[in-house]
Chains A and B, each alone.
Chain A
C-alpha cells in the first residue's frame, strides 16, 4: 500500500521541489520524481498477488478522510487499473525528457504542473473510494488547462476553456450520481461510505428505472472524457493547441479515465441501465468511428489528424466494452493500453518534427524520410501499430473489440447474450479500413515522396531551433521513442500474458450482464408475443363476425 502512495506522492513532492529549484535543476528533479514513481509502481506490480483473479489489492480500507461521510483514503489496484497506472507512470518520464528543448519559457511551472497532472491521474486509477477517484479525475483538469492555456498554440485559451467546461459539466453529473448511490447505500445499510465496491453492490440492487438515470448521468461524465461522438468537439482543439507532452498525456492517460470510468463505474453499477443504453452507446461509438475517420481523411494538420484518429479508436474501444461479453471487454482494456502507447508515440513523433519545422501542415511538409531517416523509421512503426498491423500491439485490441461485437448476438455464446452482432461489427470494421487509408496517406505525404520543406522566410526563430537540434533525431529523442517502440512490438508478439491477466477482471465487471441482457431480450420477446396476442385477439372476433 505504501508503494502506491509513494508512486502518487513522488511527483507531488517533486512538484514542490521544482517550485523552489532553479529552472535547470527542475528538469532533472522532475525526471527523477517520475522515474521514482514508475519504480514504485513497478515494484508493486512485481509483488501484486491479484494478477489472475480480478480482485483488488490491497483490500483493506485506508485511513478516514472524512468520517461523517465515510470518505476514506483507500487505494488499491486490480489488473486493469494497475496496467493503466503503469502506462501513465511509464509515459511520464518519457514526456519529461521529450519536453527538454520544446519548453523554453516558464520552465519550472511547466514541470511542476506536469508532475501534478501525472500524480492526479495515477491517483484516479488507484482510488478505491469514489470521492478520492473524483478528486484525482477532476483535478487533472487544473494542470491540463494551465498546460494548454500557457504553453499551447495560438488558440490556446479557447482550447483550454472549452476542455475545462465540457469536462466540468460532465463530471458534475457524475458526482451527483455517485453521491446519490452513496445516499442509497446509507438508506439500506445506515452508514455512509464511498467505497466503490460497496457502492456497486448497492447500485445493482436499485430498480431498473433508477439505474437507467444513474447510468445516464455517470455516462455523461465519462462520455465527455472518452470522448463519445456528440461530445468530442473539445478534443481536437485541445490536442491541436496543447504542447507535445500535454497531448501525449491527454491522449494516452486522460482519455483512458473516461473508458476506465465506464469499466469501473457506469457498467458494473447500473447493469439494467447499461443494457438499456447499450445500443445508443454502440451507435454513437460507430458514428464516432466513421465520422472521425472521414474527417481524418481530409485533415491536413498532422496533429489534428492524430487527435481525430483518437476519437475513432476510442469509439472502437467503447464498442468493445459495450459488446458486454468478456471478449469485447478484454479487447477494450487491451486496446486502452495500446492506444496509449502508439498514439502517445505518434504525438511525440509529430512534436519532434514540429520543433524542427514549426509547422504541422502536411501540405507544406513532405518526404522527410530523406532528411530524417531515423525519425521516419519510428514514425512508420508507430503508424502501423496504430493502424493495427498484425504483429504489432494495435491489432490484438482491435481484433478482440470487433470479435466481441461480432459474437454479441448469439444467445448462449459462452453465456453472454448481446444485441449488437455482426451488423455493428461490419460497420465498425469499415472504420479500420478508413484508418489504414488516412494513416497511410499521412505517411505517404510526410515521410515519403519528394522532399518539401517550409520556406525559411521568418528565419529568426527557425535559426535558433536549427542550431539546437540536429536534422535527424538526437540521442535524447531516440531514448524517448525506443522504450515505446519496444513495448509496441513486445505487446504485439506476446499479448497472451496480459490478456490472461485482464480476463478475470472483465468477467467480474460483467458479472451482472448475462442475466440483465436475457431479461431485456425476454421482455422484448414478451412484448412481441403480447403484440402478436393482441392482434390475434383483435382478429378473433373479426373472424367471428365473418362467421
Chain B
C-alpha cells in the first residue's frame, strides 16, 4: 500500500500551482505597477503550465497505483478546471483593486501595500482551484474534507475582497455562515459513515458497504450518513435544499467572483458526489475487483435514490421558476445555475459510466457557456457600476454588438438550442437517464427546459432586439479588455466546439476508462446479450 510516490506524481500540477500562488501573493505587493499588472498574466501562465503537466503526470498506471475510486476522473476534471480557470482569470483581470489602482495611476494617492488585495486575490483564486483539483485524487474522507475546505475558504475571502461595494461584504458573511453550516452537515454525515463502516478510506468504505448490502442490507447509520453528506454537498452544487444562498450571494458578490462561484465549487461538489456515490454504486453496474472478478454493485439504496430524485426535481423546478421572476441579470444567472445543477443531478442519479460521462461533458458545456455570459456582463459597466438590471442591457447591440451577440449565443446554448454546446450536454444527460430507466425525470427535465426558454429568451433578445432606454445608453465597456476577450473566446467555443464533439466526448469518457481494480462498468457489455434475448422474447 505504499502509494505515496504515484500520488505525489499525480499532484505535481497542484504543487506547481501552490508555488505559483505563493509567488502571486508576493508579487501583488510590489511597488512597481508593471509587476502588479502582470499578476493576472502570471496566474494564467501558471495555469497553462499545470495544464501542460496534467496529461504527463496523470497516467492510468499511476492512478491505479494510487488506489483511487475512479482512477481517471481527474484526467478530465483537472484539465477542465485549469482551462476554465484560465478564462476566469481573464474575467477577473482588471476588476480587482480597480479603484485604488486608478487612483495611484492618477497620482491621487501613493502606493500602499496594505491597501492592495490583488496578490491575495489571485493566490486565493489558485488555492480554490487547487482544492477542486485535489478532490479528483481523493482516497479518503479526511482528504475530501480538507480539499473541500480548501475550495471553500478562499471563495469566502474572494467574495469579500474582489470588489469594492458594501454588498459584497454582506454576501461574503452570508456565504461564510451558510458554507460553515453545510460543512457541519456533511461532516456529520462523514462521521456516521465512519461509525458504520469503520473506515475512512473510500475503498474500505466501499468494501464494508458491499458486505452490508450482501448481508442484511446497508446499515441505517451508513445510509443516514450518506444522505447527510449528499445534502451537505448540495450547498456546493447550489441544489435544493441548500440553494437559497445562491441568488443573494451571486448578486452581492462582484460579478467576476460570481463567475468563479458558478463553476469551480460546482465542479468540486459534483466530483465529491460522484466519488462518494461510487462507494455504493449504481444498480445494474458492476466493478472488477483485484482478481479480475466482476462484482455487482449493491446499487444505490432506495432512500438515497429517493432523496436524489427529490433534489433533482426540486432543484430544476425551483431554479427555473425562480429565474422567471428575476429582473436582475445576476440573480437570473444564479437561478439558472441552480436549474443546471438540477439537470446534473439527473446524471448523478442515473450513474454508471453513462451518468458520470454525461456529468463530465455537461460540466464542460456549462463551464463554457456560463463563463461566456458572466464574462460579457463583467465586460460591461454603467457609470462605473456593475450591470445588474437586465433592462440595462436593452439595445446593447447598438453600443456593444459583440457583447450583445455573446450574451445571445450563451443564452441560446444554456437553453439547449441546437447546434450549440448546451444542446449536446442535454442530449447526453437524457441518454444517461434513459439508460437508468429514469423516464419521469426526463419528462420533468423536458418541461423545465421549456420553462427555462422563457427567461433565456429574454437574456438573448433584450440585448439584441429591445430598444435602448436612457439607462442602457450609459452602458459601456470596462477599461480592461480581458473580460471582453474571455467572453468572445467562450462564445466562439459554444459555437465551434460542437464541431469537435467526438474529441470532447472521448475525453469525457476517459473519466470512466477501464482500469485494473475499481471500474464502473457500463451494463452494455454484460446485459446487451441478455436484453437482446429478452427483447426478442417480449416482442416477437
Contacts and interface: CB of A to CB of B under 8 A. Distances in A.
B464 A179 contact: no
A187 B457 contact: no
A546 interface: no
Contacts of B419: 135, 139
Contact of B505 (A66, A160, A205): A66
Contacts of A66: 424, 501-502, 505
Contacts of A190: 524, 528-529, 532
Contacts of B235: none
Contact of A183 (B434, B450, B535): B434
A67 interface: yes
B528 A138 contact: no
Contact of B539 (A69, A138, A157, A205): A205
Interface in B496-510: 501-502, 505-506, 509
B427 A165 contact: no
A486 interface: no
A258 B164 CA distance: 54
Contacts of A135: 418-419, 423
Q: Which of B419, B424, B435 has the most CB of A within 10 A?
A: B419
B465 A157 contact: yes
Interface stretch (A168-176, A380-388, A514-522): A168-176
B431 interface: yes
A164 B532 contact: no
Interface in B342-360: 357
A161 B434 contact: no
A68 B505 contact: yes
Given A138-B417, A149-B465, A131 B427 contact: yes
Contacts of A183: 431, 434-435
B431 A187 contact: no
A146 interface: yes
Interface stretch (B260-268, B330-338, B441-449): B441-449
Given A161-B457, A207-B539, A179 B417 contact: no
Interface in A117-143: 131, 134-135, 138-139, 141-142
A490 interface: no
B443 A176 contact: yes
A160 B427 contact: no
A29 B450 CA distance: 36
B539 A179 contact: no
A187 B531 contact: yes
Interface in A177-212: 179-180, 182-183, 186-190, 192, 205-207
Contacts of A172: 416, 446-447, 449-450
A176 B538 contact: no
A164 B427 contact: no
A67 B412 CA distance: 25
B482 interface: no
A100 to B, nearest CB: 23
A175 B431 contact: no
B416 to A, nearest CB: 8
B209 to A, nearest CB: 29
A150 interface: yes
Contacts of B529: 190
B468 to A, nearest CB: 14
Nearest to B527: A187
A149 B412 CA distance: 15
Given A66-B502, A207-B538, A164 B453 contact: yes
Q: A interface, by DSSP: helix, strand, loop or mixed?
A: helix
B213 to A, nearest CB: 26
B214 interface: no
Contacts of A64: 502
A106 B209 CA distance: 65
Contact of B442 (A131, A161, A168, A176): A176
Interface in B275-291: none
Nearest to A134: B418
B128 interface: no
A242 B316 CA distance: 34
Contacts of B431: 69, 179, 182-183, 192
B453 A146 contact: no
Nearest to B540: A205
A68 B524 CA distance: 13
Q: B interface, by DSSP: helix, strand, loop or mixed?
A: helix
B461 A188 contact: no
A170 B415 CA distance: 14
Interface in A348-394: none
B531 A188 contact: yes
B417 A141 contact: yes
B190 interface: no
Interface in A401-439: none
B362 interface: no
A30 interface: no
A67 B502 CA distance: 6
B454 interface: yes
Contacts of B538: 207
A160 B535 contact: no
A188 B417 contact: no
Contacts of B428: 69
A161 B459 CA distance: 12
Given A139-B417, A190-B532, A168 B427 contact: no
A146 B411 CA distance: 14
B476 to A, nearest CB: 22
A186 B538 CA distance: 16
A172 B450 CA distance: 7
Contacts of B430: 175-176, 179
Given A149-B461, A175-B430, A169 B450 contact: yes
Contacts of B457: 145, 161, 164-165
Contacts of A176: 430, 442-443, 446
Nearest to A156: B465
Contacts of A145: 457, 461
Contacts of B427: 69, 131, 175, 179
B462 to A, nearest CB: 10
B58 to A, nearest CB: 21
Interface in B429-483: 430-431, 434-435, 439, 442-443, 446-447, 449-450, 453-454, 457, 461, 464-466
Contacts of B505: 66-69
B430 to A, nearest CB: 5
Interface in A47-104: 64-69, 71
A206 B539 CA distance: 7
Contacts of B446: 172-173, 175-176
B502 A139 contact: no
Nearest to A141: B417
A157 B531 CA distance: 50
A206 B125 CA distance: 53
A464 B464 CA distance: 27
A161 B466 CA distance: 12
A424 B335 CA distance: 50
A188 B506 contact: no
Contact of B453 (A131, A139, A168, A192): A168
A59 to B, nearest CB: 23
Contacts of A142: 412, 417
Nearest to B454: A165
Nearest to B505: A68
A187 B415 CA distance: 29
Contacts of A187: 528, 531-532, 535
A165 B428 CA distance: 23
A134 B416 CA distance: 12
Nearest to B508: A68
Contacts of A182: 431
Given A169-B453, A190-B532, 8 more contacts: A68-B509, A146-B465, A165-B457, A169-B450, A173-B446, A187-B528, A187-B535, A205-B539
11 contacts: A65-B502, A66-B505, A142-B417, A145-B461, A149-B461, A168-B449, A172-B450, A175-B427, A187-B528, A189-B532, A205-B539
**Closest 5 interchain pairs by CB?**
A169-B450, A190-B528, A183-B434, A135-B418, A172-B446
